[in-house]
Structure 1
Protein backbone atom coordinates (compact mmCIF):
# COMPACT_ATOMS: atom_id res chain seq x y z
CA UNK A 1 0.00 0.00 0.00
CA UNK A 2 1.06 3.57 -0.64
CA UNK A 3 0.00 6.48 1.61
CA UNK A 4 -2.47 9.03 0.30
CA UNK A 5 -2.85 12.71 1.17
CA UNK A 6 -6.13 14.38 0.19
CA UNK A 7 -5.98 18.18 0.20
CA UNK A 8 -9.19 19.47 1.80
CA UNK A 9 -8.01 22.62 3.59
CA UNK A 10 -8.73 25.20 0.89
CA UNK A 11 -11.05 28.16 1.33
CA UNK A 12 -13.18 27.31 -1.72
CA UNK A 13 -13.27 30.94 -2.82
CA UNK A 14 -14.18 30.17 -6.43
CA UNK A 15 -17.08 28.00 -5.29
CA UNK A 16 -18.92 30.77 -3.43
CA UNK A 17 -21.73 31.16 -2.50
CA UNK A 18 -21.94 27.36 -2.06
CA UNK A 19 -18.94 27.46 0.26
CA UNK A 20 -20.24 30.22 2.50
CA UNK A 21 -21.39 27.55 4.94
CA UNK A 22 -20.06 24.30 3.47
CA UNK A 23 -16.44 23.30 2.78
CA UNK A 24 -15.87 22.60 -0.90
CA UNK A 25 -14.92 18.92 -0.39
CA UNK A 26 -18.41 18.27 1.01
CA UNK A 27 -20.25 19.68 -2.01
CA UNK A 28 -22.20 16.89 -3.71
CA UNK A 29 -21.82 16.01 -7.38
CA UNK A 30 -24.36 13.52 -8.72
CA UNK A 31 -25.39 12.69 -5.16
CA UNK A 32 -21.91 12.02 -3.76
CA UNK A 33 -19.56 14.49 -2.09
CA UNK A 34 -16.30 15.40 -3.77
CA UNK A 35 -14.43 14.12 -0.72
CA UNK A 36 -16.17 10.74 -0.83
CA UNK A 37 -15.34 10.44 -4.52
CA UNK A 38 -11.68 11.06 -3.71
CA UNK A 39 -11.78 8.52 -0.88
CA UNK A 40 -13.32 5.98 -3.26
CA UNK A 41 -10.38 6.42 -5.64
CA UNK A 42 -7.95 5.89 -2.77
CA UNK A 43 -9.74 2.79 -1.53
CA UNK A 44 -9.94 1.25 -4.98
CA UNK A 45 -6.22 1.92 -5.49
CA UNK A 46 -5.35 0.22 -2.19
CA UNK A 47 -4.10 3.40 -0.54
CA UNK A 48 -3.12 3.45 3.09
CA UNK A 49 -2.79 5.21 5.39
CA UNK A 50 -5.10 7.99 4.19
CA UNK A 51 -4.76 11.54 5.55
CA UNK A 52 -7.05 14.51 4.92
CA UNK A 53 -5.96 18.00 5.87
CA UNK A 54 -8.48 20.55 7.11
CA UNK A 55 -8.69 24.28 7.74
CA UNK A 56 -11.79 26.12 6.51
CA UNK A 57 -14.91 24.69 8.21
CA UNK A 58 -12.74 21.76 9.18
CA UNK A 59 -15.11 20.64 11.91
CA UNK A 60 -17.64 19.66 9.24
CA UNK A 61 -15.06 17.54 7.43
CA UNK A 62 -13.97 15.94 10.71
CA UNK A 63 -17.60 15.06 11.50
CA UNK A 64 -18.09 13.64 8.01
CA UNK A 65 -15.06 11.39 8.48
CA UNK A 66 -15.76 10.42 12.09
CA UNK A 67 -16.55 6.77 11.29
CA UNK A 68 -13.81 6.34 8.63
CA UNK A 69 -10.31 4.97 8.91
CA UNK A 70 -8.89 8.35 7.88
CA UNK A 71 -6.45 10.52 9.80
CA UNK A 72 -6.94 14.30 9.94
CA UNK A 73 -4.12 16.82 9.77
CA UNK A 74 -5.74 20.03 10.98
CA UNK A 75 -4.32 23.44 10.11
CA UNK A 76 -6.07 25.70 12.65
CA UNK A 77 -3.91 28.79 12.16
CA UNK A 78 -2.49 29.94 8.86
CA UNK A 79 -3.41 27.71 5.94
CA UNK A 80 -0.24 25.89 4.89
CA UNK A 81 -0.96 25.40 1.16
CA UNK A 82 -0.13 22.10 -0.52
CA UNK A 83 3.58 21.97 0.27
CA UNK A 84 3.32 23.04 3.89
CA UNK A 85 0.22 20.91 4.38
CA UNK A 86 1.91 17.79 3.04
CA UNK A 87 4.99 18.40 5.18
CA UNK A 88 2.89 18.76 8.34
CA UNK A 89 1.06 15.51 7.56
CA UNK A 90 4.20 13.40 6.94
CA UNK A 91 4.25 11.88 10.47
CA UNK A 92 0.78 10.46 9.73
CA UNK A 93 1.70 9.29 6.23
CA UNK A 94 4.89 7.39 6.98
CA UNK A 95 8.00 6.94 4.89
CA UNK A 96 8.55 6.88 1.14
CA UNK A 97 6.71 8.30 -1.86
CA UNK A 98 3.22 9.65 -1.20
CA UNK A 99 0.15 9.86 -3.42
CA UNK A 100 -1.69 13.18 -3.27
CA UNK A 101 -5.14 13.97 -4.58
CA UNK A 102 -7.17 17.13 -5.01
CA UNK A 103 -10.83 16.33 -4.28
CA UNK A 104 -12.28 19.14 -6.39
CA UNK A 105 -12.10 17.20 -9.66
CA UNK A 106 -14.17 14.34 -11.04
CA UNK A 107 -12.71 11.50 -13.11
CA UNK A 108 -14.04 8.84 -15.44
CA UNK A 109 -12.09 5.99 -16.95
CA UNK A 110 -9.13 4.30 -15.25
CA UNK A 111 -8.43 5.08 -11.60
CA UNK A 112 -5.74 7.79 -11.75
CA UNK A 113 -4.05 6.66 -8.53
CA UNK A 114 -3.83 3.05 -9.69
CA UNK A 115 -2.40 4.23 -13.03
CA UNK A 116 0.22 6.33 -11.26
CA UNK A 117 1.25 3.39 -9.10
CA UNK A 118 1.61 1.19 -12.16
CA UNK A 119 3.80 3.77 -13.93
CA UNK A 120 6.01 4.74 -10.98
CA UNK A 121 9.74 4.03 -11.28
CA UNK A 122 12.56 4.47 -8.77
CA UNK A 123 14.26 7.17 -10.88
CA UNK A 124 11.26 9.45 -10.41
CA UNK A 125 10.79 11.98 -7.65
CA UNK A 126 7.41 13.15 -8.91
CA UNK A 127 4.90 11.61 -11.30
CA UNK A 128 1.93 13.80 -12.18
CA UNK A 129 -1.33 12.73 -13.78
CA UNK A 130 -1.94 15.09 -16.68
CA UNK A 131 -4.99 15.77 -18.83
CA UNK A 132 -4.83 17.08 -22.42
CA UNK A 133 -6.12 20.64 -22.41
CA UNK A 134 -8.66 19.90 -25.13
CA UNK A 135 -10.26 17.23 -22.91
CA UNK A 136 -10.08 19.17 -19.63
CA UNK A 137 -13.76 19.85 -18.94
CA UNK A 138 -14.40 22.94 -16.87
CA UNK A 139 -10.83 24.15 -17.14
CA UNK A 140 -10.42 27.91 -17.16
CA UNK A 141 -7.11 29.10 -18.54
CA UNK A 142 -4.13 27.68 -20.37
CA UNK A 143 -2.27 24.41 -19.91
CA UNK A 144 0.35 23.77 -17.26
CA UNK A 145 2.94 21.38 -18.68
CA UNK A 146 4.53 19.73 -21.69
CA UNK A 147 5.67 16.11 -21.89
CA UNK A 148 8.84 15.00 -23.70
CA UNK A 149 9.46 11.62 -25.30
CA UNK A 150 10.85 10.23 -22.03
CA UNK A 151 7.81 11.36 -20.05
CA UNK A 152 9.57 14.27 -18.34
CA UNK A 153 7.54 17.40 -17.75
CA UNK A 154 8.38 21.05 -18.36
CA UNK A 155 6.44 24.21 -17.66
CA UNK A 156 3.86 25.50 -20.13
CA UNK A 157 2.18 23.38 -22.72
CA UNK A 158 -1.03 21.62 -23.64
CA UNK A 159 -1.43 19.42 -20.57
CA UNK A 160 -3.30 20.33 -17.39
CA UNK A 161 -2.26 18.99 -13.99
CA UNK A 162 -5.14 16.71 -13.07
CA UNK A 163 -4.77 16.93 -9.29
CA UNK A 164 -3.26 13.46 -8.67
CA UNK A 165 0.39 12.55 -8.30
CA UNK A 166 3.04 10.48 -6.55
CA UNK A 167 5.84 12.50 -5.00
CA UNK A 168 8.88 11.89 -2.84
CA UNK A 169 8.52 14.34 0.06
CA UNK A 170 12.14 14.28 1.29
CA UNK A 171 13.07 17.70 -0.08
CA UNK A 172 10.18 19.44 1.68
CA UNK A 173 12.40 19.70 4.76
CA UNK A 174 14.75 22.04 2.85
CA UNK A 175 12.09 24.69 2.19
CA UNK A 176 12.17 27.24 5.04
CA UNK A 177 8.68 28.68 4.65
CA UNK A 178 5.82 27.35 6.76
CA UNK A 179 3.24 27.80 4.00
CA UNK A 180 4.14 27.11 0.38
CA UNK A 181 2.86 25.41 -2.75
CA UNK A 182 4.14 22.11 -4.10
CA UNK A 183 4.96 24.11 -7.21
CA UNK A 184 8.16 25.06 -5.37
CA UNK A 185 9.18 21.41 -5.19
CA UNK A 186 8.06 20.67 -8.74
CA UNK A 187 10.29 23.46 -10.07
CA UNK A 188 13.33 21.95 -8.34
CA UNK A 189 12.56 18.51 -9.73
CA UNK A 190 11.83 19.78 -13.24
CA UNK A 191 15.21 21.52 -13.29
CA UNK A 192 16.91 18.20 -12.49
CA UNK A 193 14.83 16.09 -14.88
CA UNK A 194 13.25 14.17 -12.00
CA UNK A 195 9.62 15.18 -12.58
CA UNK A 196 7.52 13.04 -14.91
CA UNK A 197 3.96 12.85 -16.14
CA UNK A 198 1.48 10.49 -17.73
CA UNK A 199 -1.74 11.35 -19.56
CA UNK A 200 -5.15 10.28 -18.27
CA UNK A 201 -7.13 8.61 -21.09
CA UNK A 202 -10.57 9.11 -19.54
CA UNK A 203 -12.79 12.03 -18.60
CA UNK A 204 -11.84 14.80 -16.19
CA UNK A 205 -13.68 17.85 -14.90
CA UNK A 206 -12.46 20.71 -12.71
CA UNK A 207 -15.22 21.24 -10.13
CA UNK A 208 -13.82 24.44 -8.71
CA UNK A 209 -16.76 26.76 -9.31
CA UNK A 210 -20.57 26.32 -9.23
CA UNK A 211 -21.13 26.29 -12.99
CA UNK A 212 -18.83 23.26 -13.31
CA UNK A 213 -21.09 21.00 -11.24
CA UNK A 214 -23.56 20.31 -14.09
CA UNK A 215 -20.60 19.81 -16.45
CA UNK A 216 -19.23 17.11 -14.15
CA UNK A 217 -22.63 15.48 -13.76
CA UNK A 218 -23.12 15.40 -17.53
CA UNK A 219 -19.68 13.81 -17.93
CA UNK A 220 -20.55 11.15 -15.35
CA UNK A 221 -23.82 10.41 -17.17
CA UNK A 222 -22.19 10.11 -20.59
Structure 2
Protein backbone atom coordinates (compact mmCIF):
# COMPACT_ATOMS: atom_id res chain seq x y z
CA UNK A 1 0.00 0.00 0.00
CA UNK A 2 1.54 3.26 -1.14
CA UNK A 3 -1.26 5.73 -0.35
CA UNK A 4 0.31 8.42 -2.55
CA UNK A 5 -0.38 11.97 -1.36
CA UNK A 6 -2.34 14.18 -3.74
CA UNK A 7 -1.36 17.59 -2.36
CA UNK A 8 1.82 19.53 -1.69
CA UNK A 9 2.57 22.33 0.76
CA UNK A 10 5.09 24.87 -0.54
CA UNK A 11 6.75 26.82 2.26
CA UNK A 12 6.93 30.44 1.09
CA UNK A 13 6.17 32.53 4.17
CA UNK A 14 9.63 33.20 5.63
CA UNK A 15 11.45 36.50 5.94
CA UNK A 16 14.57 35.43 4.05
CA UNK A 17 16.82 37.41 6.36
CA UNK A 18 19.96 35.53 5.25
CA UNK A 19 19.44 37.05 1.79
CA UNK A 20 20.15 40.53 3.15
CA UNK A 21 19.17 43.40 0.86
CA UNK A 22 17.70 41.05 -1.76
CA UNK A 23 14.63 40.42 0.38
CA UNK A 24 14.09 44.01 1.48
CA UNK A 25 11.40 44.51 -1.13
CA UNK A 26 10.47 41.00 -2.23
CA UNK A 27 9.97 37.61 -0.58
CA UNK A 28 12.72 35.04 -1.00
CA UNK A 29 10.59 32.63 -3.10
CA UNK A 30 10.42 35.32 -5.81
CA UNK A 31 14.19 35.75 -6.09
CA UNK A 32 15.27 34.58 -9.54
CA UNK A 33 17.72 31.85 -10.45
CA UNK A 34 18.51 31.51 -14.15
CA UNK A 35 15.70 33.94 -15.00
CA UNK A 36 12.94 32.21 -13.04
CA UNK A 37 11.62 32.67 -9.52
CA UNK A 38 12.60 30.05 -6.96
CA UNK A 39 8.89 29.41 -6.40
CA UNK A 40 8.49 28.59 -10.09
CA UNK A 41 11.39 26.14 -10.00
CA UNK A 42 9.54 24.34 -7.19
CA UNK A 43 6.24 24.44 -9.07
CA UNK A 44 7.88 22.88 -12.11
CA UNK A 45 8.64 19.80 -10.01
CA UNK A 46 5.12 19.72 -8.56
CA UNK A 47 3.61 19.70 -12.03
CA UNK A 48 6.14 17.24 -13.45
CA UNK A 49 5.39 14.83 -10.59
CA UNK A 50 1.66 15.09 -11.33
CA UNK A 51 0.64 16.32 -7.87
CA UNK A 52 -2.88 17.69 -8.48
CA UNK A 53 -3.16 20.14 -5.58
CA UNK A 54 -0.65 22.75 -4.42
CA UNK A 55 -0.83 25.23 -1.55
CA UNK A 56 1.74 27.91 -0.72
CA UNK A 57 1.80 29.71 2.59
CA UNK A 58 2.46 33.45 2.72
CA UNK A 59 3.30 35.98 5.41
CA UNK A 60 6.19 38.30 4.53
CA UNK A 61 5.18 40.51 1.55
CA UNK A 62 2.27 38.14 1.04
CA UNK A 63 0.65 40.39 -1.58
CA UNK A 64 3.54 39.62 -3.93
CA UNK A 65 3.08 35.86 -3.45
CA UNK A 66 -0.65 36.33 -4.14
CA UNK A 67 0.01 38.27 -7.34
CA UNK A 68 2.63 35.82 -8.57
CA UNK A 69 0.36 32.81 -8.09
CA UNK A 70 -2.83 34.38 -9.41
CA UNK A 71 -4.28 32.25 -12.18
CA UNK A 72 -1.95 29.29 -11.56
CA UNK A 73 -4.41 27.18 -9.57
CA UNK A 74 -2.14 27.24 -6.53
CA UNK A 75 -4.02 28.14 -3.33
CA UNK A 76 -2.46 30.55 -0.83
CA UNK A 77 -2.65 30.00 2.93
CA UNK A 78 -2.20 33.37 4.64
CA UNK A 79 -0.50 33.53 8.03
CA UNK A 80 -1.51 36.66 9.93
CA UNK A 81 -0.73 38.47 12.14
CA UNK A 82 2.17 36.15 13.01
CA UNK A 83 4.22 33.69 11.00
CA UNK A 84 3.51 30.10 12.08
CA UNK A 85 6.76 28.25 11.20
CA UNK A 86 6.69 24.99 9.27
CA UNK A 87 4.53 22.93 11.63
CA UNK A 88 2.04 25.66 12.47
CA UNK A 89 1.90 26.71 8.83
CA UNK A 90 1.19 23.17 7.65
CA UNK A 91 -1.56 22.73 10.25
CA UNK A 92 -3.09 26.10 9.29
CA UNK A 93 -3.26 24.98 5.64
CA UNK A 94 -4.86 21.56 6.19
CA UNK A 95 -8.28 22.82 5.11
CA UNK A 96 -6.80 23.54 1.69
CA UNK A 97 -4.56 20.48 1.50
CA UNK A 98 -7.15 17.85 2.38
CA UNK A 99 -6.90 14.69 4.46
CA UNK A 100 -4.09 12.17 4.61
CA UNK A 101 -0.34 12.48 4.12
CA UNK A 102 1.01 15.42 2.12
CA UNK A 103 4.16 16.39 0.32
CA UNK A 104 5.94 19.43 1.71
CA UNK A 105 8.64 21.32 -0.12
CA UNK A 106 10.85 24.27 0.70
CA UNK A 107 11.07 26.89 -2.03
CA UNK A 108 14.67 27.98 -1.48
CA UNK A 109 16.52 25.15 -3.19
CA UNK A 110 17.24 24.12 -6.76
CA UNK A 111 17.57 20.50 -7.88
CA UNK A 112 19.38 18.85 -10.77
CA UNK A 113 18.46 15.24 -11.41
CA UNK A 114 15.39 13.06 -10.78
CA UNK A 115 12.24 14.73 -9.50
CA UNK A 116 12.42 14.47 -5.69
CA UNK A 117 8.63 14.32 -5.33
CA UNK A 118 8.43 11.37 -7.73
CA UNK A 119 11.18 9.59 -5.80
CA UNK A 120 9.27 10.14 -2.55
CA UNK A 121 6.03 8.82 -4.02
CA UNK A 122 7.76 5.69 -5.27
CA UNK A 123 9.41 4.93 -1.92
CA UNK A 124 6.53 5.93 0.40
CA UNK A 125 5.31 3.11 2.63
CA UNK A 126 2.77 4.34 5.20
CA UNK A 127 2.75 0.97 6.95
CA UNK A 128 6.21 1.63 8.39
CA UNK A 129 6.68 5.40 7.91
CA UNK A 130 5.15 8.51 9.40
CA UNK A 131 7.41 10.73 7.32
CA UNK A 132 9.84 10.15 4.46
CA UNK A 133 12.51 12.79 3.83
CA UNK A 134 14.74 13.41 0.82
CA UNK A 135 18.29 13.63 2.12
CA UNK A 136 21.32 14.86 0.22
CA UNK A 137 24.73 13.18 0.49
CA UNK A 138 27.35 15.82 1.23
CA UNK A 139 29.08 15.26 -2.12
CA UNK A 140 25.84 16.14 -3.95
CA UNK A 141 25.16 19.37 -2.03
CA UNK A 142 26.51 22.32 -4.00
CA UNK A 143 27.82 25.15 -1.84
CA UNK A 144 26.72 23.57 1.44
CA UNK A 145 29.30 23.53 4.22
CA UNK A 146 27.30 22.10 7.13
CA UNK A 147 27.90 18.75 8.77
CA UNK A 148 24.51 17.35 7.79
CA UNK A 149 21.35 16.51 9.68
CA UNK A 150 20.70 12.76 9.63
CA UNK A 151 22.28 9.34 9.61
CA UNK A 152 20.45 6.56 7.76
CA UNK A 153 20.53 2.80 8.33
CA UNK A 154 20.16 0.14 5.65
CA UNK A 155 16.36 0.14 6.00
CA UNK A 156 16.11 3.91 5.52
CA UNK A 157 15.41 4.74 9.16
CA UNK A 158 16.87 8.06 10.25
CA UNK A 159 18.65 9.21 13.38
CA UNK A 160 20.00 12.68 14.03
CA UNK A 161 23.68 13.21 13.43
CA UNK A 162 26.26 14.49 10.95
CA UNK A 163 25.76 12.88 7.58
CA UNK A 164 23.06 13.50 4.99
CA UNK A 165 21.50 16.96 4.62
CA UNK A 166 17.74 17.41 4.67
CA UNK A 167 16.83 18.63 1.19
CA UNK A 168 13.55 20.31 2.11
CA UNK A 169 11.19 17.79 0.48
CA UNK A 170 9.21 15.09 2.25
CA UNK A 171 5.99 13.16 2.62
CA UNK A 172 4.51 13.49 6.10
CA UNK A 173 1.40 12.27 7.87
CA UNK A 174 -0.47 15.16 9.44
CA UNK A 175 -2.22 13.46 12.39
CA UNK A 176 0.39 14.46 14.97
CA UNK A 177 -0.04 18.15 14.12
CA UNK A 178 -3.20 18.20 16.20
CA UNK A 179 -1.35 17.11 19.36
CA UNK A 180 0.84 20.24 19.47
CA UNK A 181 -0.40 23.01 21.76
CA UNK A 182 1.71 25.82 20.32
CA UNK A 183 0.35 27.93 17.48
CA UNK A 184 3.73 28.46 15.84
CA UNK A 185 6.10 25.48 15.85
CA UNK A 186 8.62 23.62 13.72
CA UNK A 187 8.04 20.26 12.08
CA UNK A 188 11.09 19.17 14.05
CA UNK A 189 8.68 18.54 16.93
CA UNK A 190 6.90 15.89 14.88
CA UNK A 191 10.16 14.45 13.60
CA UNK A 192 11.41 14.00 17.17
CA UNK A 193 8.34 11.93 18.01
CA UNK A 194 8.76 9.88 14.85
CA UNK A 195 12.43 9.30 15.65
CA UNK A 196 11.44 7.87 19.03
CA UNK A 197 9.08 5.39 17.37
CA UNK A 198 11.49 4.53 14.54
CA UNK A 199 9.08 5.83 11.90
CA UNK A 200 11.11 8.72 10.45
CA UNK A 201 12.69 7.50 7.23
CA UNK A 202 14.71 8.89 4.37
CA UNK A 203 15.94 8.34 0.84
CA UNK A 204 19.21 9.58 -0.63
CA UNK A 205 18.96 11.93 -3.58
CA UNK A 206 21.10 10.70 -6.49
CA UNK A 207 21.35 14.07 -8.24
CA UNK A 208 22.63 17.49 -7.20
CA UNK A 209 21.01 20.06 -4.93
CA UNK A 210 21.78 23.68 -4.08
CA UNK A 211 20.43 25.59 -1.09
CA UNK A 212 19.65 29.15 -2.20
CA UNK A 213 19.38 30.55 1.31
CA UNK A 214 22.17 33.10 0.90
CA UNK A 215 23.04 35.48 -1.95
CA UNK A 216 26.02 33.39 -3.09
CA UNK A 217 23.67 30.46 -3.65
CA UNK A 218 22.09 32.19 -6.65
CA UNK A 219 25.19 31.94 -8.83
CA UNK A 220 25.98 28.44 -7.57
CA UNK A 221 22.48 27.20 -8.40
CA UNK A 222 22.58 28.81 -11.85
CA UNK A 223 25.93 27.16 -12.59
CA UNK A 224 24.65 23.81 -11.32
CA UNK A 225 21.57 23.66 -13.50
CA UNK A 226 23.63 25.02 -16.38
CA UNK A 227 25.90 22.00 -16.12
CA UNK A 228 28.99 23.64 -14.67
CA UNK A 229 28.98 21.30 -11.66
CA UNK A 230 29.27 17.60 -12.42
TM class by smaller structure: over 0.9
Aligned to 2:160: 155
> Could you tell me which of 192, 200, 203 is aligned with 2:197?
192
Matches within 5 A, 1:105-184: 105-122=109-126, 123-184=128-189
Aligned to 1:30: 34
Structure 1: runs of 5 or more not aligned: none
Distance in 2 (CA, whole Å) between partners of 1:50 and 1:76 is 20
Aligned to 1:10: 14
Structure 2: runs of 5 or more not aligned: none
Q: Deviations over 1:21-61 (max 9, x none)?
A: 01000000001110001111111111121100000001001
How does the TM-score come out when normalised to structure 2?
Answer: 0.95
139-148 vs 84-93, greater mean Cα deviation: 139-148
Aligned to 1:81: 85
| Aligned residues between the structures | 222
SS in 2 for 1:128: strand
SS in 2 for 1:198: strand
SS in 2 for 1:35: helix
Distance in 2 (CA, whole Å) between partners of 1:157 and 1:51 is 32
> Could you tell me which of 194, 213, 219 is aligned with 1:208?
213
Distance in 1 (CA, whole Å) between partners of 2:123 and 2:6 is 14
Give yes or no for the alignment of 1:218 onto 2:223: yes
Aligned to 2:63: 59
Deviating beyond 4 angstroms after TM superposition, the runs of 4 or more aligned structure 1 residues are none
